[in-house]
A = this chain, B = another copy of it.
Amino acid sequence: MNTVRGARERARIEVTAAIKDEARRMLAAEGAAKLSLRAVARELGMVSSALYRYFPSRDDLLTALIIDAYDSVGAAAEEADAHARAAGASPRARWTAVCEAVRAWALEHPHEYALIYGSPVPGYIAPIDTVGPASRVGNAFIGILRAAYEGPGLALPPLPPALRAEADRMTADFAEGLPPAVTAALVAAWAQLVGLVSAELFGQFNRVVEDRAAFFAHAADQLAHGVGLPAV
């Protein structure tokens, strides 16, 4: 299936990539709101209407960038975990390593982070294509917890009755094998991690937190505790 199908197809792939690259550059420089199809086309030496052959609308271009961004954080998280794992780190150390990786990625790519974890562009509905890449970071955490709960895990307090069925369902859906209380705690921890990073990135910590790195390290460690990863 990797046959060269001809100059036209090849060109299409290249132009599509060039558009995405230029769009990503502008996104990084100015943010999603100022990403304009016309500016991208201008920079590429084509006329704006030609661009619609490759992306049927601005939203579709944004969606492509969103998928790439999800893949980018996901890869960063997976890589950080692989490194920690190779170094023989404990599950808790792997957890914090992934948290730090997510934060570092966000600080390096603030606009792409805002694109995926900030307020969605109004009226924008995430297409199905995004859910795979979107879950890579979550899956990294699940992998860590799975490894931890084969070995010595921390006992989590029992779930309130109102949450038992929900936790069972979540476990069956995407975290098979984990104790349901851990699954629930993980989802909450993930949302909280995003909250911490967003607060730092979106200016909520201005005039409040100075030493953000130390603060985040401590918070990430506390999150690890919250999902039942024992210290040391």
Chain A residues at the B interface, C-beta cutoff of 8 Å = 30-34, 111, 114-115, 117-123, 126, 131, 159-160, 162-163, 165-166, 169-170, 173-174, 184-185, 187-188, 190-196, 198-200, 202-211, 214-215, 217-219, 222, 226
A87 to chain B, nearest CB (A): 21
Query: Hey, which chain B residues are within 8 Å of A123, CB to CB?
Result: 30-31, 34
Are A194 and B198 within 8 A (Cβ)? yes
Name the one of B33, B173, B217 contacting A33, with C-beta atoms under 8 angstroms.
Answer: B33
Contacts A131-B207, A192-B195, A195-B196 aside, 10 further interface pairs with beta carbons under 8 A come to A30-B122, A32-B122, A118-B118, A118-B119, A120-B203, A169-B210, A191-B199, A191-B205, A194-B198, A195-B199
Q: How many copies does the complex hold?
A: 2
Q: Whole-angstrom distance between the alpha carbons of A119 and B159 in the complex?
A: 33
Q: In terms of DSSP, what is the predominant structure of the interface of chain A? A: helix
Alpha-carbon gap, A140 to B191, bound state (A): 23
A32: B residues at CB distance < 8 A:
122
A165 / chain B contacts, CB cutoff of 8 Å? 211
Q: How far is the CA of A218 from the CA of B181 in the complex (A)?
A: 11
Q: Chain B contacts of A204 at CB under 8 A?
A: 117, 191, 194
20 contacts between A and B (CB under 8 A): A31-B123, A33-B33, A33-B122, A117-B204, A118-B202, A120-B202, A160-B218, A166-B215, A169-B210, A170-B208, A185-B222, A187-B205, A187-B215, A188-B219, A188-B222, A192-B192, A195-B195, A195-B198, A195-B199, A198-B198
Residues of B within 8 A of A196 (CB): 188, 191-192, 195
The CA-CA distance from A208 to B184 in the complex, in Å, is: 10
Residue of B nearest to A123 (CB): B31
